[in-house]
Structure 1
Amino acid sequence: MADPSAYRPSPGTIPDAPGVYKFRDPGGRVVYVGKAKSLRSRLNSYFADITSLHPRTRQMVTTAGAVEWTVVSTEVEALQLEYNWIKEFDPRFNVRYRDDKSYPVLAVTLNEEYPRLHVYRGARKKGVRYFGPYAHAWAIRETLDLLLRVFPARTCSTGVFRRHGQIGRPCLLGYIDKCSAPCVGKVSADEHRAIVLDFCDFLSGKTDAMVRRLEKEMAQASSELEFERAARLRDDIGALRRAMEKQAVVLGDGTDADVVSFAYDELEAAVQVFHVRGGRVRGQRGWVVDRLEDAGEESPVTGLVDQFLSQFYGDQADLEDDVANSVPREVLVPELPADAEAIGEWLTGLRGSRVQVRVPQRGDKRALMETVERNAKEAFTQHKLRRAGDLTARSAALQELQDNLGLDSAPLRIECIDISHIQGSDVVASLVVFEDGLARKNEYRRFAIREAATEGDVASIAEVVRRRFAKYAGESGGQDRTPGIDPDTGKPRRFAYPPNLLVVDGAGPQANAAADVLADLGVTDVAVIGLAKRLEEVWLPAEPEPSILPRTSEALYLLQRVRDEAHRFAIAYHRQKRAKRMTMSALDDVPGLGQSRRAVLIKHFGSVKRLTAATVEEITQVPGIGLATAKAVHTALNRGEEKQ
């Protein structure tokens, strides 16, 4: 692990100007690329207290061995250079929003002489136009079946196309007029391409113009007494309208926009995008990616928005021939990034006309944003539960842990400890329990660190392990490991039996500290490991080197879930404790108001905000609070304001 201070640039050498920076590992490979309005401010934030950084950011700065930067003249240039470098170097710590291969799309191969319409799953290719994604492949086939009578384009594979060209007979679709049969020369390549382009225009939202044109042709055919042609045009118009009805109308003003929203936790984020063209939802995409919080961003959402817009639309513009279709007139986001104006200028340059990035405040667009947000949260929840709910995967994970750690049996009960604090203040710990690979939330425990609060994470881990196992070791006498039975309920007491595996968040020192405490207590049947965030290394006590589980291992995935859950639970308790301390501190200076009466006041009003808004008379209604104390409380909470 590299020490960031070893390669920190000298003070004053970093320019206070916009630019793009690269972190390189000791081998010279680029591991992260970022941009900044002020290089000096942004880079200095990476070299602050390492414990205050986001876990993935901390992993990045300790993996890197050097940092370099390039100064540019504008933020728009910084955006473009950042995108080009990410594409060139593919840094491991930059989030890449590659297309989700699980959703089917309707692909139109405009790069072929005779373009083909077909269902496709996979990475995007240049020269191919895509519509969707759709929720199901049958939805694409149903739409195609309706539209082929109006736009009889080729849908067959290259092999089928060539074979029918050789035998000189079209396929069944050619005989029933759902294909113009370019394979046998019924239409020329130019005529077939015109049909395909009309099809693309219709799916791009130019529906009204298409329907009006067909209605005009139908009226003309009727006036010329060509009733068969008029009837066919009538049926074509009906097919187009049925296809339009299958796409929900969400906005009535012909809006051309992408609506983006996120759901995230400390380590991962889910993003959902609804593509609205002509006021209708034409497609939906979703990704789940690892988070890397940029140290200079004010909030997690602004950082996610910034990364997504620059990478997603840069890739779309590179792959799509029709840039105006890939970059909409509006991009609706939950929060504006700090460089929203520069991003808007950059997107305008890609599209060739003005693009607006904004947050919808009310009306239909706000309602649609809330719908996209719900979809992001649902996708994130499903991502978390997908592998956790797989019995086969859980069984495989437990078996892999037994084999890799050399355990006598599969670890059916796993407990994990994590420490949370900010620079040594409000130090707390969490203990989470997993049985058979599933969380047992009713058995979670949290600890306020007492003796070891000022001694660091290793000492805090030791204190929690001692407090967790002291009662168990005493009741079992260090020998009898059968669970203690509650005489009142007849059920085993909680924590009266040990886990098969104890996981601590950290590396060798943390694992050694936990193992030493267990040895002192005489507990010898609990395996201990440490799981380090940096490279997801598994540390065994007294071992000089860690074990590295394969990245695709079910065992590693289970350990990560256990560790992440402990991390989440610890952070929640830490925030609660810190908020309570800050809330109570507002009343610390009130003379004659002790801890008990402060608690009574907060409980009566529910919050300091409500207590601050209360009058002296309302405060005196609290049991035990007299007039003098009420006036003192009111004065302390309303300093600088007019007294009642």
Structure 2
Amino acid sequence: MADPSTYRPSPGTIPDAPGVYKFREPGGRVIYVGKAKSLRSRLNSYFADVAVLHPRTRQMVTTAGSVEWTVVATEVEALQLEYNWIKEFDPRFNVRYRDDKSYPVLAVTLPDEYPRLHVYRGPRRKGVRYFGPYAHAWAIRETLDLLLRVFPARTCSSGVFKRHGQIGRPCLLGYIGKCSAPCVGRVSADEHRDIVEDFCDFLAGKTDHMMKRLEKEMIAASADLEFERAARLRDDLAALRRAMEKQAVVLGDGTDADVVAFAHDELEASVQVFHVRGGRVRGQRGWVIEKISDKIGQDDTAGLVDQFLIQFYGDQAELADDKTSGDDSPVPREVLVPALPDDADAMADLLSELRGSRVALRVPQRGDKRALMETLERNAKEAFQLHKLRRAGDLTARSAALQELQDALGLDTAPLRIECIDISHIQGSDVVASLVVFEDGLARKSEYRRFAIKEAATEGDVASIAEVVRRRFHRYLQETREEPRAGIDPETGRPRKFAYPPNLLVVDGAGPQANAAADVLAEMGIQDVAVIGLAKRLEEVWLPADPEPTILSRTSEGLYLLQRVRDEAHRFAIAYHRQKRSKRMTTSALDGIPGLGQSRKAALLKHFGSLKRLRQATVDDISGVPGIGAHTAALVHSALAAQTDNATGDSHDRGA
């Protein structure tokens, strides 16, 4: 644990000006980014008595080894730079408002040639339009089922879409009128996109125009004695009305606003957001985050609002289409919050810049908007209580697990960074390895790595583990040998792939595997990384050179953490092994055919979709693939036919 006084800037060196500051670990990695109206006042507050600091702030300043700052001209520039640095460096002590993966949304894949409507969970992708979140996936499917009769857009996966295009017949939805069947050319790409855009306009709140247009078409069809078409339009109108009834009207004046509310204690906070468009609640989002209070002298809620607005709307604007602005912008005309941050004017200016028109940032005082805020605050409190019940003891359990490992393994410090290596293969073929990383007892998936075993592929698991350890730590020495900050990429400022060593290296196996890893580290002169092996059979912990294993209690939090790390490494290794094996088995049938390289193999498989369909193709079909000539097509056809004949002959022999 570092003493903040060892890296405190000299008196008078910190400017009394607005700016953005970064705290770094001794190894150079950025662990916290903040902004301030006065850098001098804010930074001096971190170097007060450590005992009076917020718990997370105290942990941050004692983990850091240096602080640096950048002066800017205005508070808006400080907001923008803070957001950019948080996104670039992903500091571990900054709050990150990532979408709760438990909330499903309705996604529209606008970048595709034929956009798809589907239920989606996960991180947002640029260009894709999202509606929701919804409370349940079935609510999306119910709404989608109602709207597909009016907007018959594609809902199938890429594989299903391609397969029906190849066989020339639409799926069931195409036959019953709930898909326009672009896969078989019933509509063109432009016509299908028009259908999807009408669907998006309806869900975005532009319902009056759509309803009036359908009513006019229905009346016109009835007047022209086209009664079947009029009945169809009547049913379409009824479906749209039922879909609209599912979205409650909360504000009668057509308000376009986001309402934000918080519930929090000293360490954590729950935030809930209602997205109100056209007076209707179009979606709701929620997060529970760990707090770090660098807003010295500010109200906690105001500080949370400040952090939330820049990160949430910055991310939303970045993911939206570059041309999106005005009513289609993810930033609404009005943002209602429980408390205004100190830099409220600068924040409103930045939100207006993201939207392309003026955005009002205010606290509702009375009327319907105040009542909606109170409803949302109750939701936030209930979500916070549920989170506490569900996660009670989680932080304590992780801390206890790390402390137990430190005591049981005789480590100098708790293993805050754990790495685990696992080997995967089938009888020595397609040998691969995984390396997973856990920090503070939680998986850090952005730092996972995978290895294709080279030299030791035929020598067994022990030699494979030695190879992976050697390759991983060779990269570490390369990236950190020259200077202490060599682990930081000078162009991006982000840590390089292997810039930070683990406190504890876990290998899947017993004594031989642990000894192999420890021997490699000793050869390379690395002495500050502890090594253990975790054997699956009895969950024994093996220390290098120890003849007997260390047995941890079956109820031990430390053992449970090691099992989770090992199981995650095993999962990651198996996934990579299956990927390599599948690729090899798919392309092996085409190996050895003259004139057929890797790119042509890939082109054939992409065109026909599978090896089975390629075997069924004629020479003319094969020669129709770009880059495949008639001579090569004939060779491919004859080679696959010979393989099929051989396989048939073998099966007859076995039957005989």
Where 1:97 maps in the other structure, the secondary structure is coil
Residue 364 of structure 2 is matched in structure 1 by 360
Where 2:11 maps in the other structure, the secondary structure is coil
Residue 153 of structure 1 is matched in structure 2 by 153
Given the alignment of the two structures, is residue 242 of structure 1 paired with residue 242 of structure 2, yes or no? yes
Residue 275 of structure 1 is matched in structure 2 by 275
Could you say if the C-alpha distance between residues 148 and 266 of structure 1 is closer, same or farther in structure 2, counting changes exceeding 3 Å? Answer: same
The aligned amino acid for 1:325 is: S
2:351 maps to which of 333, 347, 354: 347
- Written as runs of structure 1 = structure 2, the 5 A alignment for 1:188-337 is 188-321=188-321, 322=324, 324-337=328-341
Q: Distance in 2 between matches of 1:255 and 1:47?
A: 46
Where 2:180 maps in the other structure, the secondary structure is coil
Could you say if the C-alpha distance between residues 134 and 293 of structure 1 is closer, same or farther in structure 2, counting changes exceeding 3 Å? Answer: same
| More divergent stretch after superposition (97-106 vs 379-388) | 379-388
Residue 447 of structure 2 is matched in structure 1 by none
- Give the C-alpha shift of residue 266 in structure 1: 1.2
- Written as runs of structure 1 = structure 2, the 5 A alignment for 1:388-467 is 388=392
Q: Is the 8 A contact 1:396 1:555 kept in 2?
A: no
- Give the C-alpha shift of residue 220 in structure 1: 2.3
Superposition CA RMSD, Å: 2.8
Q: Distance in 2 between matches of 1:402 and 1:107?
A: 45
Could you say if the C-alpha distance between residues 288 and 553 of structure 1 is closer, same or farther in structure 2, counting changes exceeding 3 Å? Answer: farther
Q: Distance in 1 between matches of 2:87 and 2:559?
A: 24
Q: Is the 8 A contact 1:117 1:155 kept in 2?
A: yes
- Written as runs of structure 1 = structure 2, the 5 A alignment for 1:471-510 is none
- Written as runs of structure 1 = structure 2, the 5 A alignment for 1:584-595 is none
- Give the C-alpha shift of residue 221 in structure 1: 2.2
Residue 21 of structure 2 is matched in structure 1 by 21
Q: Is the 8 A contact 2:221 2:230 kept in 1?
A: yes
Q: Distance in 1 between matches of 2:16 and 2:402?
A: 51
Could you say if the C-alpha distance between residues 290 and 399 of structure 1 is closer, same or farther in structure 2, counting changes exceeding 3 Å? Answer: closer
Where 2:329 maps in the other structure, the secondary structure is helix
Q: Distance in 2 between matches of 1:119 and 1:297?
A: 44
1:376 maps to which of 363, 376, 380: 380
- Written as runs of structure 1 = structure 2, the 5 A alignment for 1:78-93 is 78-93=78-93
Q: Distance in 2 between matches of 1:80 and 1:216?
A: 48
- Give the C-alpha shift of residue 297 in structure 1: 4.8
The aligned amino acid for 1:382 is: L
Q: Is the 8 A contact 1:263 1:269 kept in 2?
A: yes
Q: Distance in 2 between matches of 1:299 and 1:396?
A: 30
- Give the C-alpha shift of residue 2 in structure 1: 1.5
Q: Distance in 1 between matches of 2:179 and 2:26?
A: 59
- Give the C-alpha shift of residue 9 in structure 1: 1.6
Q: Is the 8 A contact 1:22 1:69 kept in 2?
A: yes
| More divergent stretch after superposition (8-17 vs 167-176) | 8-17
- Give the C-alpha shift of residue 40 in structure 1: 1.4
Q: Distance in 2 between matches of 1:35 and 1:11?
A: 20
- Give the C-alpha shift of residue 49 in structure 1: 2.0
Unpaired runs of 5+ residues, structure 2, are 409-551, 565-656
Q: Is the 8 A contact 2:218 2:230 kept in 1?
A: yes
Could you say if the C-alpha distance between residues 290 and 550 of structure 1 is closer, same or farther in structure 2, counting changes exceeding 3 Å? Answer: farther
Residue 491 of structure 2 is matched in structure 1 by none
Could you say if the C-alpha distance between residues 255 and 239 of structure 1 is closer, same or farther in structure 2, counting changes exceeding 3 Å? Answer: same
- Give the C-alpha shift of residue 225 in structure 1: 2.6
- Give the C-alpha shift of residue 63 in structure 1: 1.1
Look at both structures and tell me which one has the larger radius of gyration over its CA atoms: 1
Q: Is the 8 A contact 2:30 2:89 kept in 1?
A: yes
- Give the C-alpha shift of residue 219 in structure 1: 2.2
Q: Is the 8 A contact 1:45 1:295 kept in 2?
A: no
Residue 166 of structure 1 is matched in structure 2 by 166
Q: Is the 8 A contact 1:305 1:333 kept in 2?
A: yes
Could you say if the C-alpha distance between residues 396 and 99 of structure 1 is closer, same or farther in structure 2, counting changes exceeding 3 Å? Answer: closer
Q: Is the 8 A contact 2:317 2:329 kept in 1?
A: no
Could you say if the C-alpha distance between residues 400 and 67 of structure 1 is closer, same or farther in structure 2, counting changes exceeding 3 Å? Answer: closer
Q: Distance in 2 between matches of 1:553 and 1:2?
A: 26
Q: Residue by residue, what CA displacement relative to the aligned partner does 1:388-411 show, whole Å, maximum 9, x if unpaired?
A: 499xx99999999999978xxxxx
Residue 594 of structure 1 is matched in structure 2 by none
Q: Is the 8 A contact 1:53 1:295 kept in 2?
A: no
Q: Residue by residue, what CA displacement relative to the aligned partner does 1:451-502 show, whole Å, maximum 9, x if unpaired?
A: xxxxxxxxxxxxxxxxxxxxxxxxxxxxxxxxxxxxxxxxxxxxxxxxxxxx
Residue 390 of structure 2 is matched in structure 1 by 386
- Give the C-alpha shift of residue 223 in structure 1: 2.7
The aligned amino acid for 1:72 is: V
Q: Is the 8 A contact 1:273 1:372 kept in 2?
A: yes
Q: Distance in 2 between matches of 1:551 and 1:36?
A: 43
Seq. identity, %: 78
Q: Distance in 2 between matches of 1:396 and 1:264?
A: 22
Given the alignment of the two structures, is residue 8 of structure 1 paired with residue 8 of structure 2, yes or no? yes
Where 2:361 maps in the other structure, the secondary structure is strand
Q: Is the 8 A contact 1:397 1:553 kept in 2?
A: no
Could you say if the C-alpha distance between residues 347 and 402 of structure 1 is closer, same or farther in structure 2, counting changes exceeding 3 Å? Answer: closer
Could you say if the C-alpha distance between residues 297 and 311 of structure 1 is closer, same or farther in structure 2, counting changes exceeding 3 Å? Answer: farther
Q: Is the 8 A contact 2:2 2:63 kept in 1?
A: yes
Could you say if the C-alpha distance between residues 87 and 403 of structure 1 is closer, same or farther in structure 2, counting changes exceeding 3 Å? Answer: closer
Could you say if the C-alpha distance between residues 403 and 18 of structure 1 is closer, same or farther in structure 2, counting changes exceeding 3 Å? Answer: closer
- Give the C-alpha shift of residue 346 in structure 1: 0.5
Q: Is the 8 A contact 1:204 1:325 kept in 2?
A: no
Could you say if the C-alpha distance between residues 244 and 84 of structure 1 is closer, same or farther in structure 2, counting changes exceeding 3 Å? Answer: same
Q: Is the 8 A contact 1:297 1:303 kept in 2?
A: no
- Give the C-alpha shift of residue 165 in structure 1: 0.6
| More divergent stretch after superposition (43-52 vs 120-129) | 43-52
- Give the C-alpha shift of residue 325 in structure 1: 3.5
- Give the C-alpha shift of residue 280 in structure 1: 0.7
Scaled by the length of structure 2, what TM-score is found? 0.60
Could you say if the C-alpha distance between residues 42 and 232 of structure 1 is closer, same or farther in structure 2, counting changes exceeding 3 Å? Answer: same
The aligned amino acid for 1:332 is: L
Could you say if the C-alpha distance between residues 347 and 297 of structure 1 is closer, same or farther in structure 2, counting changes exceeding 3 Å? Answer: farther
Q: Distance in 1 between matches of 2:393 and 2:349?
A: 45
Given the alignment of the two structures, is residue 58 of structure 1 paired with residue 58 of structure 2, yes or no? yes
Unpaired runs of 5+ residues, structure 1, are 407-546, 557-644
The aligned amino acid for 2:336 is: L
Q: Distance in 2 between matches of 1:24 and 1:318?
A: 27
Could you say if the C-alpha distance between residues 555 and 371 of structure 1 is closer, same or farther in structure 2, counting changes exceeding 3 Å? Answer: farther
Q: Is the 8 A contact 1:22 1:68 kept in 2?
A: yes
- Written as runs of structure 1 = structure 2, the 5 A alignment for 1:102-141 is 102-141=102-141
- Give the C-alpha shift of residue 22 in structure 1: 0.7
Q: Residue by residue, what CA displacement relative to the aligned partner does 1:96-135 show, whole Å, maximum 9, x if unpaired?
A: 1111111111011111100000011111111111111111
Q: Distance in 2 between matches of 1:120 and 1:304?
A: 28
The aligned amino acid for 1:350 is: L
Q: Is the 8 A contact 1:396 1:554 kept in 2?
A: no
